[in-house]
Amino acid sequence: MRKHKDSFFGEEHVMEKMAREAVDRSSGELVEFSVEEFATDGLLLYIADKCNSLRCLRLVSCYEISPKSFIEMAKKLPLLEELELRHLAFSARNLEVVGLSCPQLKSFRLNYRAYWHPGLQRNDKALAIAKTMPQLRRLHLLGNKMSDFGLKAILDGCPHLESLDLRQCFNLSLEGDLLQRCKDMIQVLRLPKDSTDNLEFYAQIVSDEHVELCRRKLQNYSL
């Protein structure tokens, strides 16, 4: 479910009410749920309490969701096999809890807006995935800040991977035999500079220069 592009005041409340009604009609048999832009903590916990047999969950730009409620939900979904988190900020520790709570997870999509800053490397989320999601077959990490170290950990910790999307993961250098290892192990491989034209959402790259330009515009606007 998603908000209409020409949204109106109070639409979020209407959409949440419709979502709850859909959950009720499923009588606990709901196996797939997708929500864009309007989910709240209350809705997540309602779904988790009513549909603990959920297999697929997709959350896109749901900015009202708190990490605490998301974790509470994950703990109630032990059968979850597919999870997509797009434009949501969850910590590495949050991802660890998801992996431990959902041992059957086979597909994970964690998409951010790419940030072009070669000096900024973070492997914590990659290490969390490698540590707690060994059954993954498909992993989509658009815009992740990991380095080769994080990628190696994923290849070691997720030996069943068949599809790996590394587009806009610009801190990866794929040095030595790492690129060849990826090609030998992964059936469907997307590299950092591969095209994002086929993505269903806007994949803008944010640079230091872009951030500074926005800062100056805001500063001028406030003068």
- Residue 117's pLDDT band (cuts 50, 70, 90): low
pLDDT digits (tens, 9 = 90+) for 129-143: 999 999 999 999 999
Q: Which domains does the chain have, with CATH numbers?
A: 5-220 (3.80.10.10)
Count CB neighbours of 222 within 10 A: 6
What CA–CA distance (Å, rounded) separates 179 from 184? 9
pLDDT at 58 over 70: yes
Residue type, 146: M
For residue 117, count CB atoms less than 10 angstroms from its CB and return exposed for 0-12, middle for 13-18, buried for 19 or more. middle
pLDDT digits (tens, 9 = 90+) for 12-53: 678 888 889 989 998 888 999 998 887 889 999 999 999 889
pLDDT (mean) for 74-87: 95
- Residue 89's pLDDT band (cuts 50, 70, 90): confident
pLDDT of residue 219: 53
Residue whose token pair is 């540590």: 131
- pTM for this structure? 0.82
